[in-house]
Amino acid sequence: MSLKVPGIGLAKGLGVSIRHATRKRITEQYPEERLNVSRRTRAQELVWDPQRCTGCATCAKACPQGNIKIVTSVGTDNNYVVEKFESDEGRCMFCGLCVEACPYEALFFGRSYERAKYRRADLVASKEDMSSPEKEKSAYYRPELHEGLPEQTLLIYRKHKRPL
Amino acid sequence: MYNLPEVVTMTAHNVLDKPVALDWPGNFWAHWGIYTVGIVLVVLLVVMGFIWFERRLLGPFQLRIGPNRCGPFGLLQPVADAVKVLLKEDIVPVLADKVVHFLAPIIVFVPVLLIFAVIPFQDGVGLIPDFNVGILFIIAVGSFETVAVFMAGYGSNNKYALISAMRGVAQMLSYEIPMVLAVVAVLLVTQSLSMQEIVRQQTVPFILLLPMSFLLYFIGALAELQRTPFDLLEADSEIVAGYHIEYSGMKFAMFYLGEYGSAFAISAIITTVFLSGWKGPFLPPFLWFFIKAFAVFALIIWIRSTWPRVRIDQLMAFAWKFMLPLSLINIVIVAIEVLVWPAGLPWGLVFLNIGIMVVLLTLWAGMFKLRGGPQIES
């Protein structure tokens, strides 16, 4: 027969849960708050650099889905002119093989995650979409971009005050 | 020395504390009508408040926020849920006992409303707050919920619902006994069964004067409500729902309503019997009543967010081997105290009683053994 006051463990447990209740909450409330996506993310969109692209179509050959459509013509300056560069984001599985395959580092992942559309046809990203200047490049498979970035975990970027 | 009533009577002159109500048009029936409608509305409103309160309060315990989109502070969330559940399809199993299956969700809510007939929300405010067998009425009516649980399990024609209902009935019956015996100790002190009289006599709240009774009643109440740590037949994270597994739509909503309604009923009873009901400084008395009821429910939620649930054998052993003997010993101790101080217990007994509680719990927990299986670590 042990003489131990019962319920001490239970009371300790209650103490733990009340301490948890005072911690900062991890919920991200989407329209008011944005998730601070990893700057090295491998997801959701491709960013294309028209200056560096030579139109070699290595990305299109690397794509397991056959998802990248590239049409080129011979230019005046002993080069290829990229006439069409399309990727259907509805079929893309974000494996990253195209980004890894690009010999001239012209293809990147982007950091936006708000890519939902109402029509499947709208998901096809054109040359202009992918090279638009406001797209942020991810440092995935790009060590020279990675070096300039701070260490990071997934954090919540609070744009507005949390609604009660 | 006991002034138990010779005849249980419920006439207008007997049950009405204040003569004001008699001057109303229609005398007693006006009082009856107004309070019945009022109590039904208040109970429904508070039940919605409880649902919101539980979801809001569980949020921070799990590092999240809880409903906050529907109305200010998410207050309209229960309304939205109610509308949703009303519009859902009501499925009755082909082989179900149709009548029993239909009646169970109706019956589950009746005892909750009946309990509130004798609860005093304020001094003399209530349907029959000074009913001379008030607490006995509550115990008698409250155990009626067991029937609804078993009807639901039996009527569904589902073996899991039936097993769950059998276990639920066993659990409710087992914990009813220590609960009632804990109340008996209170009645020895007040020497009245009227809820209003119990509150009036609490110069020191009985949670301090009779801590052992409160503890036994509270544990029994958790089991009676089938809430954590005794929610093994609903076990949200493991099995789906228990005895109301075959219910959907409005019938399921009635069970939900009954569950939170009885949570409010138990909170109200604990408030009245142990927390000195409407008494309190500064604020109006009825507000104190609701604040205390919500505080009791907050404690229940806190426990829900913390403790793991027990096994069925631990559950039954705890009721019969731990709580029943302790409640009997508690009655003997309180009876001796009442005999020594017949004019009323002095407030100094608070410290003595808390000491007795700690010693008794320690001794009894040391002797408590489960045969077979791992032991309960307290």
Three-class HEC string of chain A: CCCCCCCHHHHHHHHHHHHHHCCCCCCCCCCCEEEECCCCCCCCCEEECCCCCCCCCHHHHHCCCCCEEEEEEECCCCCEEEEEEEEECCCCCCCCHHHHHCCCCCEEEECCCCCCCCCHHHHEECHHHHCCCCCCECCCCCHHHHHCCCCCCCEEEECCCCCC
What distance in Å separates residue B221's CA from the closest CA in chain A? 18
The arithmetic mean of pLDDT across residues B122-147, rounded, is 88
Inform me whether the pLDDT recorded for B19 exceeds 50. Answer: no
pLDDT of residue B272 exceeding 90, the answer is: yes
pLDDT, average across residues B123-132: 84
Confidence of residue B143 (pLDDT cuts 50, 70, 90): confident
How confident is residue A160, by pLDDT bands cut at 50, 70 and 90?
very low
pLDDT averaged over every residue in chain B: 87
A78-91 burial, b for 16+ CB within 10 Å, e for fewer?
A: eebebeebbbbbee
Confidence of residue A146 (pLDDT cuts 50, 70, 90): confident
Residue B375 lies in a domain: no
The number of folded domains in chain B is 1
CB-based contact, A160 to chain B, within 8 Å:
no
Which residues of chain A neighbour B303 with C-beta distances below 8 Å? 14
Q: Mind listing the pLDDT tens digit for each residue in B172-184? A: 999 999 999 999 9
Cβ-Cβ contacts under 8 Å, B377 against chain A:
9
Here the ipTM equals 0.80
**Contact with chain B for residue A11, Cβ under 8 A:** no
A2 touches chain B (CB under 8 A): yes
> Does B123 map to a domain?
yes
Q: Is the pLDDT of residue A154 over 60?
A: no
Decide if B351 is inside a domain: yes
Mean pLDDT of B104-124: 91
In which band, very low, low, confident or very high, does the pLDDT at B23 lie, cut at 50, 70 and 90? very low
Residue B3: the pLDDT is 54
Q: How far is B231 from chain A (nearest CA, A)?
A: 17
- State residue B180's pLDDT score: 94
Domains and CATH numbers, chain A: 25-158 (3.30.70.3270)
- Mean pLDDT, residues B262-268 taken together: 94
Given this model, what pLDDT does residue B1 score? 46
Distance CA A65, CA A59 (A): 11
- CA-based nearest residue in chain A for residue B355: A5
Is A5 an interface residue toward B (CB < 8 Å)? yes
Instruction: Note whether residue B133 is domain-resident.
Output: yes
In degrees, rounded to 5, the angle at the alpha carbon of residue B27 between the alpha carbons of residues B22 and B29 is 130
Percent of the residues in chain B that have a pLDDT greater than 70, as a whole number: 89
The domain of B74 spans 12-367
The pLDDT assigned to B27 comes to: 64
B7 in any annotated domain:
no
Note whether A64 contacts B: Cβ–Cβ < 8 A: no
Closest Cα in chain B to A29:
B65
If pLDDT is split at 50, 70 and 90, which confidence band does B370 have?
confident
B5 found inside a domain: no
Interface touch B378/A2, C-beta < 8 Å: no
Residue B378 lies in a domain: no
Does residue B137 lie within any of the structural domains?
yes
Task: Say what the pLDDT of residue B288 is.
Answer: 94
